[in-house]
Chain A
Amino acid sequence: MKNRQLDSALGLDARTGPLALIGKVVLHGLLVLVFAGPLLALLVSAFSPVSDPTRLTLLPTDFTLANFRAAFDRDVLRYLLNSFLVVGGGLLLQVGVSISAGYALARKRFPGMRLVLLLILSTMMLPEEVLAIPLSLVLSDLSLIGSLWGMIVPVGAWAFSILVTAEFMKEIPLELEEAARLDGAGDLRIFWSVVLPLCKPALGVIGIFGFTMIWDQYMLPLLVATDAKQFTLPLALRTLRADEQVGVGVLLASALLALLPSVLAFLAMQRQFMRGLTSGAVKG
């Protein structure tokens, strides 16, 4: 007979009875309150009339869109659009670069391959924060300062995405490729119609990770933006907070807009996210 008590380390899940049930509900409720509570409070408060900067509320009071109206008056739509342009462009570039490089690493053998792999791995040790100062000089040499392109192009190559794609492409049977080659298909054709359609799950993983990573970017936009016109939404929060004339409501509404896309993307693609999380963590 199978003992459910032994399904998990603590066996909490299997314990039944009214006392255990109450204990679990209380504990889980507390955890949700501690971790998701502040974000839920942000959600509710953004739709409530706020005057007092000390208050976030979990309980809806009078529903109002005034905070969002005030936020749109402060150009928040432009910041949101900038964020979407950066994340869209950056992600498109990153996916393209990753599948292309991943294909070469996974399906080709060529002299210098180990060196290339080593170079790509080493970039994981060169965090953007540490290279921020010289990076800003390079960006200025390339005339990328003061333009959204400066936030898009540098996020195009990301070692994690390349490695995940390559790992995934290695699993695709070589026979498929050979069959296509016998049919007279060239590299580009094999890449496009044989390998790519089979690595949709990998695209999901790098897509969701790329999205959250680019959305979370702070240092790069900070280096690149020379004018509020180029601010991404996360960057703009700091100025909106400092704006004492408008009050905390604008900040709440804008913060909610900055929170939603990444959280929604995560909720929609949870399974891919978990897969990437474990593979990314294991491979460093």
Chain B
Amino acid sequence: MWLRPSAGWARGRLTPWLFLAPALVLFALFKFLPMWRAVEMSFHEVRPYLGDRWVGGANYQQVVTDEAFLSAIGHTLVLAVGQTGGSVLLGLALALVLEGTARRLWIVRTAVFLPTVTAMAVVAEVWRILYYPAADGIANSLLAWVGVGPSQFLNSPDSALWSVMTVGVWRGAPYDMMIFLAALAGVDRTLYEAAAADGAGVWRRVWHVTLPALRPAFVILLTLAAIRSLRVFTEIFLLTNGGPNGSTEVLMTLIYRLGLERGELGVAAAGSMVLLGVSVLLTLLVGLSRRGRTGKAVT
């Protein structure tokens, strides 16, 4: 009997934690524990069965000086900028063209969105076929129509990175389109009427009314897309696996190769930490700039 009240008290206090427990356990095991081990490993030379050896910042030093890492960082940045910019611009164009309530528009939007819900592995295989580097390959046939010579696409160091970027834009733009469409739906129509009353044409309306209203969507999409493309892995792994000649090697494929194929876990972990640092920094920066802007708007 004497247990009753205290058990009741404990139950009341414990209830939220019981409901949270599954999530917290899974996060601890599969997010925070790996995170902790990554930090640890990045300062050690990891030697299975021999015990790890503390090496201080040597792994990090290797990451920022090693030529393979530097060129991978370069490719990652080129890809992040190109893919992000390309899909945001194309996504905006698509959204402007496909905005509206007609049923036909809805069908076209759905069709355009399909690449985004298709598994990346499938997208990669389809594009490998499209990119078949013979003169009668599909992409090359299309190029021939517009009078451009056949390209090697994924097989040549000159074009491989661009070819991968095209696939990224193709798959990313429809996603951006949907976000822009949602933002466009929230634009105040009376502003359009006011602009029309002031004699503004379509282009001035877009420039002065629509685009400013889309600013929050731009910020969100640029951040999300930039962070996503920093850690691009699957499409590279499947389309080129870093080749030809290392011309598409990005940070994640290099880290994967180092960690799981060559067993240099410490250096791989240091590379991951650098990547993580950059993406967190990017997120925080954008978050801060957004807060600053809305703060200004309020005061």
A187: chain B residues within 8 A (beta carbon): 15
B94 within 8 Å of A (CB atoms): yes
A245 within 8 Å of B (CB atoms): no
Name the residue of chain B whose CB is nearest to the CB of A133.
B259
B71 within 8 Å of A (CB atoms): no
Q: What are the interface flags for A7-43 relative to B under an 8 Å C-beta threshold, 1 for contact and 0 otherwise?
A: 1111111100000000000011001101110110110
**CB distance A36 to B179 under 8 Å?**
no
List the 4 closest A-B pairs by CB distance, nearest first. Answer: A13-B100, A234-B121, A157-B26, A104-B19
On whether A135 and B34 interact (CB within 8 A), knowing A11-B202, A42-B126, A237-B121, the answer reads yes
Binds A, one of B56-64, B78-86, B152-160, B231-239: B231-239
On whether A134 and B187 interact (CB within 8 A), knowing A3-B196, A31-B112, the answer reads no
On whether A129 and B118 interact (CB within 8 A), knowing A10-B99, A138-B29, the answer reads no
B23: chain A residues within 8 A (beta carbon): 97-98, 100-101, 120, 157, 162
**CB distance B26 to A153 under 8 Å?**
yes
Q: What are the interface flags for B132-144 relative to A under an 8 Å C-beta threshold, 1 for contact and 0 otherwise?
A: 1010111000000
Q: B interface, how many residues as a size bin?
A: 35 or more
**CB distance A35 to B111 under 8 Å?**
yes
A248 within 8 Å of B (CB atoms): yes
A207 within 8 Å of B (CB atoms): no
**CB distance A110 to B16 under 8 Å?**
yes
**CB distance B100 to A133 under 8 Å?**
no
B31 within 8 Å of A (CB atoms): yes
* Partner pick for B38 among A12, A133, A251, A267, CB 8 A cutoff: A133
B231: chain A residues within 8 A (beta carbon): 127, 129-130
A54 within 8 Å of B (CB atoms): yes
Smallest beta-carbon distance A41→chain B, Å: 8
Name the residue of chain B whose CB is nearest to the CB of A256.
B122
14 residue pairs from A and B, CB less than 8 Å apart: A5-B196, A9-B205, A28-B98, A32-B108, A36-B114, A100-B20, A101-B23, A113-B16, A126-B31, A127-B227, A255-B125, A266-B113, A270-B110, A277-B179
Binds B, one of A65-73, A176-184, A196-204, A212-220: A212-220
Q: What are the interface flags for A88-127 relative to B under an 8 Å C-beta threshold, 1 for contact and 0 otherwise?
A: 0000000011101101110010100100100110010111
Q: How many chain-A residues does the 8 Å CB contact rule pick out? A: 91
Name the residue of chain A whose CB is nearest to the CB of B19.
A104
* Partner pick for B179 among A56, A97, A119, A278, CB 8 A cutoff: A278
B68 within 8 Å of A (CB atoms): no
Smallest beta-carbon distance A148→chain B, Å: 16
Interfacial residues, chain A to chain B (CB-CB below 8 A): 3, 5-14, 27-28, 31-32, 34-36, 38-39, 41-42, 53-56, 96-98, 100-101, 103-105, 108, 110, 113, 116, 119-120, 123, 125-127, 129-138, 142, 153-154, 156-157, 162, 187, 191, 212, 215-216, 218-219, 223, 234-235, 237-238, 241, 248, 251, 255, 258-259, 262-263, 265-267, 270, 273-274, 277-278, 281-282, 284
Smallest beta-carbon distance B255→chain A, Å: 7
B55 within 8 Å of A (CB atoms): no
Mostly, the A contact residues are helix
B296 within 8 Å of A (CB atoms): no
On whether A137 and B37 interact (CB within 8 A), knowing A39-B114, A56-B130, the answer reads yes
**Of residues 260 to 284 in B, which have CB atoms within 8 Å of A's CB atoms?**
260, 265, 268-269, 272, 275-276, 279-280, 283
**CB distance A7 to B27 under 8 Å?**
no
B69 within 8 Å of A (CB atoms): no
**CB distance A123 to B252 under 8 Å?**
no
Given A36-B111, A38-B127, 14 more pairs with CB closer than 8 A: A9-B205, A13-B102, A31-B111, A108-B15, A116-B24, A119-B27, A127-B279, A132-B272, A216-B119, A218-B238, A262-B117, A266-B113, A281-B179, A284-B283
Smallest beta-carbon distance A284→chain B, Å: 7
A34: chain B residues within 8 A (beta carbon): 170
Smallest beta-carbon distance A276→chain B, Å: 11
A267: chain B residues within 8 A (beta carbon): 110
Smallest beta-carbon distance A283→chain B, Å: 10
**CB distance A274 to B178 under 8 Å?**
yes
CA A127 to CA B231, docked complex, whole Å: 8
* Partner pick for B272 among A98, A108, A133, CB 8 A cutoff: A133
CA A56 to CA B20, docked complex, whole Å: 50
Smallest beta-carbon distance A42→chain B, Å: 6
**CB distance B224 to A281 under 8 Å?**
yes
